[in-house]
């Protein structure tokens, strides 16, 4: 009886852990939100027209120091003004 309860408890725990992993999966909109937040944390505001290139680099229009600039976020997490 105790073995059965332990087995059921362990099975339930593994199912819960698997569900939690799937709930945190990345989606295109989550990736875009992350890219936008990363650009904003680099000091840019008004981030718009965010697109992802075939090489994985994100590009957008933004504002920094009251100047409109084009920015990119590479796969290594570096934000640069173009």
CA distance 8 to 28: 36
44, burial (CB in 10 Å: exposed 0-12, middle 13-18, buried 19+): buried
Domain limits, the chain: 2-81
Residue 14: pLDDT band (50, 70, 90) is very low
43 contacts: CB under 8 Å, gap ≥ 6: 64
Q: Is the pTM of this model over 0.75?
A: no
Residue 26: is its pLDDT beyond 80? no
């Amino acid at each position: 009886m105790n073995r059965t309860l332990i087995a059921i408890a362990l099975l339930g725990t593994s199912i819960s852990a698997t569900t939690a992993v799937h709930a945190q999966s990345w989606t295109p909109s989550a990736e875009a939100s992350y890219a936008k937040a990363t650009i904003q944390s680099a000091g840019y505001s008004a981030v718009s027209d965010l697109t992802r290139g075939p090489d994985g680099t994100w590009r957008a229009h933004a504002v920094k120091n009251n100047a409109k600039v084009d920015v990119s976020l590479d796969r290594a997490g570096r934000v640069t003004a173009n």
